[in-house]
């Protein structure tokens, strides 16, 4: 039953908030090294899907497996699962009372992945990856949005995740900041990181995605390669959505 | 799992700290020691002299009887109502507090043979036109709660058509008459006489009515102590010691000798500075107690408040329920009710005494702790939910995420509330005077009970509070700056 070639398996997943059925029978599998981009109108349930993958939301029905382990099972340690899944939020969520470096080393040191010296050395490497070596001792509030988001990516990478989740990482940024963040994500994709990305950057999606999934009304309406979805969408709703975002 | 560890930590700490405060039971002495409650404001029967020692007819009589009967007494001036309630609750062994022997009291307690005969007199402001009960029609009269004189006033209230206003201690009742708010007050004759001797601008205008005797009260079962009291009283009357004690405070009968007797226990310089100098030590003693109670209460309330506040943000319905209920109950209860409930209500329930200091600390801990819990919870909730999600998404367990990410941010939000709460705690200690803790407010009451200088003494007390609160505010602002700068 469990297939470890899949990093993420969502099996017949439902999510209700009271009487609001937000996710309805979603089946979504993500292979190792695969880059999956989720698109769809506001309220379609994209964020909810991402948040369910690392257990920030529970499922109402169905199963989610990470590397074959069902995260809703009591004996599965959700904290351990989360160490393998990095998440990047729309609003960065850096810890404002810590310097950039402290943000990055907090989890590795607290979870005893490395001693402080080793974690610090490694953190500087990740900051170099995102192009922010010189900001190591700055406080988050003194950084631009784009810089903050790149720190957030470095912070997630510091735990050496197998999977990275991105929830609209650029939609809170000024247009001139978007490029730097996308550049970092592009690099990760090239290095073979397994990624699930929610974004409205259709050009970027086309370029990096192995697969594009169109969500609407809590369901997967259509999925395929970027060419299939962007150039030959089958569903009327998909066409309508793409027309709207591409015009904007 | 988290709830459990927090709960355990909370209970362990609280219980451990409480027991360090609870006085250890003293070893059985050869002579039995009885704890006797008395009033703080009932000169000449009990009052603190200018050296802040407890003196008065009741005190001297009790000590003399103990001596002739071979037992020891520990006399606690906790206030009349508190003493009676403490006796009912079994917190103390007896009450001697100018307590009139009435049928109601005889039903509840054992009452001794009368040791002093008194009657109720009416007093008016000096120079007042009112000379008799008949002239009280439509007027306001001041009475003291729980006294036989008060009961007498109420019994004739309808007949003479006056209204009453009640006070907790004699001085406030007298002041209400001298300021003209009320036209008259009722008081037991020797007490009224003492106040007038001391300079209260009142005149007695009626003959003593409703003659009764003052008696010593014990619990119904304590026949042993009662027998000793009655026997001792007889001996003192026979050997002349009784008369000596009474004359020491009230003179031999003439006004002059009364005034002379009175002087021995009073300050000679009645100016503000004279009174301040004479009472400086006493006031500072009260301040020390206030500060002690404040500091201990702040420590406990902060610990309890933080723990209860944290329970309120745990991802567990049961823990949050405890927190919400605690905050709801102890924030809702007036401090005064809580203090009396813990000091006099709880002991009658659990059957053990609760020392006033411990009762006071528990009261403040629960009340201030509830307020602290509310702003601790609020401070944590005010931290953006994204912070917790980001921390958890990195794999940090809830407890670590709370400690490393949420609390450091929450505390910055809470600091001003902590400062505010410390100041409120300091002020709230004054309410503990109701259970007889000898803090600053109670000290003020005691001094005034002796010298009747309400205005000057309350001014001193108020100034001391303002100075201390100002110092505390400065200190807090300094701490606040340090925290916010870091
Ligand atoms: N905590 C919650 N309680 C109740 N309803 C919620 C909650 N979180 C999300 N929803 C609802 O679930 C639905 C899906 O929300 P979700 O955030 O997953 O959409 P989305 O596709 O990410 O939209 P957007 O593009 O606006 O971010 C919405 O209707 C939203 O109102
Ligand atoms: Mg979303």
Q: Which residue of B has its CA nearest to A105?
A: B394
Residue B10 lies in a domain: no
Asked if the Cβ–Cβ distance from B392 to A85 is below 8 Å, we say: no
Give the mean model confidence (pLDDT) for residues B239-259.
79
My answer on whether B122 and B94 are in the same domain is no
Q: pLDDT tens-digit profile of B379-418? A: 999 999 999 999 999 999 999 999 999 999 998 888 889 8
The neighbour count for residue A121, using CB atoms within 10 Å, is: 11
Q: In whole angstroms, how large is the CA radius of gyration of chain A? A: 18
Question: How does residue B258 score in pLDDT terms, banded at 50, 70 and 90?
Answer: low
Q: What is the ipTM of this complex?
A: 0.93
Residue pair B421/B301 in contact by the 8 Å Cβ criterion: yes
Provide the pLDDT for residue B29: 46
| The pLDDT of residue B430 | 93
Q: What is the rounded CA–CA span in Å between residue B484 and residue B486?
A: 6
> With a 6 A CB cut-off, is A22 part of the ligand 1 pocket?
yes
Torsion of CA B235, B240, B246, B248, to 10 degrees: -130
Q: Which two tokens stand for residue B115?
A: 């040791």
Return the pLDDT at A114.
87
Instruction: Write out pLDDT tens, residues B135-183.
Output: 999 999 998 877 778 888 988 999 999 998 888 778 888 988 988 889 9
Phi, psi of A217 (to 5 degrees): 55, 35
Beta pairing, strands A211-216 & B54-55 = unpaired
* C-alpha to C-alpha distances, B134 to A197, B157, B162, B206, nearest whole angstrom: 94, 11, 9, 11
Q: Strands B184-188, B140-144: parallel, antiparallel or unpaired by DSSP?
A: parallel
Residues from chain B contacting residue A87 (CB–CB below 8 Å): 390, 393
Mean pLDDT of B420-447: 88
What CA–CA distance (Å, rounded) separates B133 from A216? Answer: 90
Residues B192 and B281 in one domain: no
pLDDT in tens, B271-330: 899 999 888 988 999 999 999 999 999 999 999 999 999 999 998 999 999 999 999 999
Q: Band of the pLDDT at A2, cuts 50, 70, 90?
A: very low
DSSP readout, B197-226? HTT--EEE-S--EEEEEEEEEE-TT-HHHH
Looking at ligand 1, which atom is closest to the CA of residue A48?
Answer: 18
Least Cα separation, residue A41 to chain B (angstroms): 23
SS3 B19: helix
Phi, psi (rounded to 5 degrees) for B201: -85, 65
Does A153 have pLDDT greater than 50?
Answer: yes
Residues of B in contact with A156 (CB under 8 A): 393-394
Instruction: Please answer whether residues B328 and B265 qualify as being in contact, where contact means their C-beta atoms are separated by less than 8 angstroms.
Output: no
Give residue B458's domain range. Answer: 272-485
Nearest 5°: CA angle at B41, between B40 and B44? 110
Identify whether residues B130 and B182 lie together within a single domain.
yes
* Owner of token pair 């002239």: B135
Same structural domain for residues B368 and B354? yes
Least trusted range by pLDDT, from A127-136, B65-74, B145-154, B395-404:
B145-154
User: Residue B421: how many CA atoms within 13 Å on its side-chain side?
Assistant: 28
CA distance B290 to A92: 49
In a domain, B13, yes or no: no
Reduced to 3 states, what is the DSSP secondary structure of residue B4? helix
Residues B255 and B350 grouped into a single domain: no
User: Does the structure show a pLDDT above 60 at A151?
Assistant: yes
CA–CA distances in Å: residue B149 to residues B157, B166, B170, B398: 12, 12, 11, 64
Claim to verify: residue B299 and residue B438 sit in the same structural domain = yes
Minimal Cα–Cα distance from B315 to chain A, Å? 13
Q: Do residues B382 and B410 lie in contact, with contact meaning Cβ atoms separated by under 8 Å?
A: yes
pLDDT of residue B253: 59
Please indicate whether residue A43, judged by its CB atom, sits closer than 6 Å to ligand 1: yes
Residue B286, domain CATH: 1.10.3720.10
Contact status, residue B309 vs residue B376, Cβ threshold 8 Å = yes
pLDDT of residue B419: 87
Q: Residues 6 or more apart from B369 whose CB is under 8 A from it? A: B300, B301, B302, B304, B305, B308, B326, B330
Asked, for residue B14, whether it belongs to a domain, the answer is no
Are B340 and B226 part of one and the same domain? no
Indicate the range of A110-114, A192-196, B316-320 predicted with least confidence.
A110-114
To test the contact with chain A by mutation, choose from B386, B393, B405 the residue with the greatest count of A C-beta atoms within 10 A, namely B393
**Separation in Å, CA B9 to CA A30, B3, B19, B313, B405:** 44, 10, 16, 16, 21
Tens of pLDDT along B351-385?
777 888 999 999 999 999 999 999 999 999 999 99
* CATH assignment at residue B172: 3.40.190.10
Q: What are B187's strand-pairing partners?
A: B121
Q: Do residues B337 and B423 both lie within one domain?
A: yes
> B386 near A172, Cβ under 8 Å?
no
**Total number of domains in chain B:** 3
- Distance from C-alpha of B117 to C-alpha of B211, rounded to nearest angstrom: 7
* Statement: residue B5 has pLDDT above 70: no
**Are B181 and B227 part of one and the same domain?**
no
Scanning the structure block, which residue is given the tokens 């050296």?
B51
Beta-carbon separation of B396 and A93 below 8 A: no
Quote the radius of gyration of chain B (alpha carbons, Å): 26
Q: Whose CA is nearest to atom 8 of ligand 1?
A: A48
Per-residue model confidence as pLDDT tens digits over A4-55? 589 999 999 999 999 999 999 999 999 999 999 999 999 999 999 999 999 9
Comparing C-alpha atoms, which of B155, B194, B157, B146 is closest to residue B174?
Answer: B194
Task: Quote the CA–CA distance of B143 and B184 in Å, as a whole number.
Answer: 9
State mean pLDDT over B78-107.
87
Is B422 in the same domain as B320?
A: yes
User: How much distance in Å is there from the Cα of A197 to the middle of ligand 2?
Assistant: 11
Q: Relative to the alpha carbon of A45, which ligand is closest?
A: 1
**pLDDT value at residue B254:** 62
State whether residue B435 is helix, strand or coil: helix
Instruction: Tell me whether residues B390 and A89 touch, CB distance under 8 A.
Output: yes
Average pLDDT score over residue span A182-206 = 94
The Cα–Cα gap between A138 and A160 comes to 23
| Nearest CB partner across the interface for B404, out of A106, A152, A155 | A106
Q: Closest residue of B to A158, CA-based?
A: B394
The answer to whether residue B20 is domain-embedded is no
Q: Which atom of ligand 1 is nearest to the CA of A46?
A: 21
Average pLDDT of chain B, as a whole number: 87
* Cα–Cα distance, A140 to B386 (Å, whole number): 15
Measured at the alpha carbon of residue B104, what is the angle toward residues B99 and B105, in degrees to the nearest 5?
A: 35
pLDDT digit string, tens, across residues B111-141: 999 999 888 999 999 999 999 999 999 999 9
Q: Do A80 and B393 touch (CB under 8 A)?
A: no
- Is residue B25 situated within a structural domain? no
Q: Provide CB contacts within 8 A for A24, sequence distance 6+.
A: A14, A217, A218, A219
CA-to-CA separations, B263 to B45, B188, B197, B248, in angstroms, rounded: 15, 21, 9, 11
Residues A142 and A197 sit within 8 Å (Cβ to Cβ): no
DSSP code for B113: S
Min Cα distance A113 → chain B (Å) is 11
Q: What is the number of other CB atoms lying within 10 angstroms of the CB of residue B334? A: 10
SS (H, E, C) chain A: CCCCCEEEEEEEEEEEECCEEEEEEEEEEEECCCEEEEECCCCCCHHHHHHHHCCCCCCCEEEEEECCEECCCCCCCHHHHHHCEEEECCCCCCCCCCCHHHHHHHHHHHCCCCCHHHHHHHHHHHHHHCCCHHHCCCCHHHCCHHHHHHHHHHHHHCCCCCEEEEECCCCCCCHHHHHHHHHHHHHHHHCCCEEEEECCCHHHHHHHCCEEEEEECCEEEEEECHHHHHHCCCCHHHHHHHHHHHHC
Same domain for B367 and B233 = no
pLDDT bucket at B4, cuts 50 / 70 / 90: very low
What is the tens place of the pLDDT at every residue in A158-190?
A: 999 999 999 999 999 988 889 999 999 999 999
Residue B173 and residue B87 share a domain: no
Helix (H) or strand (E) holding B176: helix B170-178
Any domain includes B4: no
E strand or H helix that includes residue B470: helix B454-485
**Is position B22 within any domain?**
no
Structure tokens at A193: 């990181």
B344: phi > 0 → left, psi -120 to 50 → alpha, else beta; which?
alpha
Residue B289 in domain:
yes
């Amino acid at each position: 039953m469990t297939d470890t070639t899949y990093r993420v398996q969502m099996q017949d997943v439902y999510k209700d908030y009271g009487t609001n059925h937000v996710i309805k029978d979603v089946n979504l599998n993500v292979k190792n090294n695969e880059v999956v981009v989720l698109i769809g109108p506001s309220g379609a349930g994209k964020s909810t899907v991402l948040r369910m993958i690392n257990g920030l939301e529970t499922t109402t029905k169905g199963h989610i497996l990470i590397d074959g382990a069902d995260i809703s099972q009591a004996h599965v340690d959700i904290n351990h699962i989360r160490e393998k899944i990095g998440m990047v939020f729309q609003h960065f969520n850096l810890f404002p009372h810590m310097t950039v470096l402290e943000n990055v080393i907090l989890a590795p040191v607290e979870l005893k992945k490395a001693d402080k010296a080793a974690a610090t050395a490694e953190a500087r490497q990740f900051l170099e990856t995102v192009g922010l070596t010189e900001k190591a001792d700055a406080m988050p509030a003194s950084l631009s949005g784009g810089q903050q988001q790149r720190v957030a990516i470095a912070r997630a990478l510091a735990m050496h995740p197998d999977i990275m989740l991105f929830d609209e990482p650029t939609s809170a940024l000024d247009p001139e900041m978007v490029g730097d963040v996308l550049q970092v994500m592009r690099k990760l994709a090239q290095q073979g990181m397994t990624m699930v990305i929610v974004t409205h950057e259709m050009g970027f999606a086309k370029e990096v995605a192995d697969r594009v999934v169109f969500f609407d009304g809590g369901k997967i309406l259509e999925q395929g390669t970027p060419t299939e979805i962007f150039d030959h969408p089958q569903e009327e709703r998909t066409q309508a959505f793409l027309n709207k975002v591409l015009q904007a | 799992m988290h709830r459990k560890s927090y709960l355990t930590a909370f209970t362990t700490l609280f219980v451990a700290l409480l027991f360090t405060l609870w006085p250890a039971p003293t070893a059985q002495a050869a002579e039995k020691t009885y704890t006797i409650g008395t009033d703080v404001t009932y000169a000449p029967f009990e009052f603190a002299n200018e050296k802040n020692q407890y003196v008065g007819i009741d005190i001297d009589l009790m000590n003399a009887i103990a001596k002739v009967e071979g037992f020891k007494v520990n006399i606690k001036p906790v206030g009349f109502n508190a003493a009676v309630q403490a006796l009912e609750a079994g917190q103390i062994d007896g009450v001697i507090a100018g307590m009139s022997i009435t049928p109601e009291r005889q039903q509840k307690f054992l009452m001794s043979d009368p040791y002093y005969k008194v009657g109720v007199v009416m007093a008016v402001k000096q120079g007042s036109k009112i000379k008799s009960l008949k002239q009280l029609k439509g007027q306001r009269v001041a009475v003291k709660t729980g006294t036989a004189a008060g009961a007498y006033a109420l019994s004739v209230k309808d007949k003479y058509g006056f209204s009453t206003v009640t006070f907790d201690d004699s001085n406030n009742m007298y002041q209400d008459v001298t300021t003209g708010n009320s036209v008259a007050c009722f008081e037991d004759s020797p007490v009224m006489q003492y106040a007038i001797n001391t300079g209260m601008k009142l005149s007695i205008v009626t003959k003593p009515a409703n003659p009764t005797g003052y008696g010593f009260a014990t619990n119904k079962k304590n026949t042993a102590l009662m027998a000793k009291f009655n026997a001792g009283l007889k001996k003192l009357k026979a050997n002349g010691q009784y008369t000596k004690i009474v004359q020491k405070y009230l003179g031999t009968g003439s006004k002059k000798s009364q005034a002379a007797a009175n002087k021995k226990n009073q300050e000679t310089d009645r100016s503000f500075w004279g009174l301040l100098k004479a009472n400086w030590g006493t006031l500072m003693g009260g301040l020390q107690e206030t500060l002690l109670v404040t500091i201990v209460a702040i420590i406990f309330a902060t610990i309890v408040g933080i723990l209860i506040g944290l329970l309120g943000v745990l991802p567990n319905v049961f823990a949050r329920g405890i927190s919400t209920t605690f905050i709801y109950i102890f924030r809702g209860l007036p401090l005064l009710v809580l203090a009396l409930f813990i000091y006099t209500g709880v002991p009658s329930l659990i059957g053990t005494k609760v020392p006033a200091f411990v009762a006071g600390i528990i009261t403040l801990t629960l009340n201030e702790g509830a307020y602290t819990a509310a702003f601790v919870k609020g401070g944590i909730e005010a931290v953006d939910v994204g912070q917790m999600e980001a921390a958890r998404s990195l794999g940090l367990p809830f407890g670590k995420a709370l400690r490393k990410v949420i609390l450091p941010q929450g505390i910055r939000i809470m600091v001003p509330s902590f400062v505010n709460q410390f100041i409120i705690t300091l002020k709230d200690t004054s309410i503990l005077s109701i259970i007889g803790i000898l803090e600053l407010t109670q000290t003020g009451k005691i001094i005034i009970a002796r010298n009747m200088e309400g205005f000057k003494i309350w001014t001193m007390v108020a100034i001391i509070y303002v100075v201390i609160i100002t110092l505390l505010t400065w200190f807090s602002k300094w701490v606040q700056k340090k925290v916010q700068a870091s």
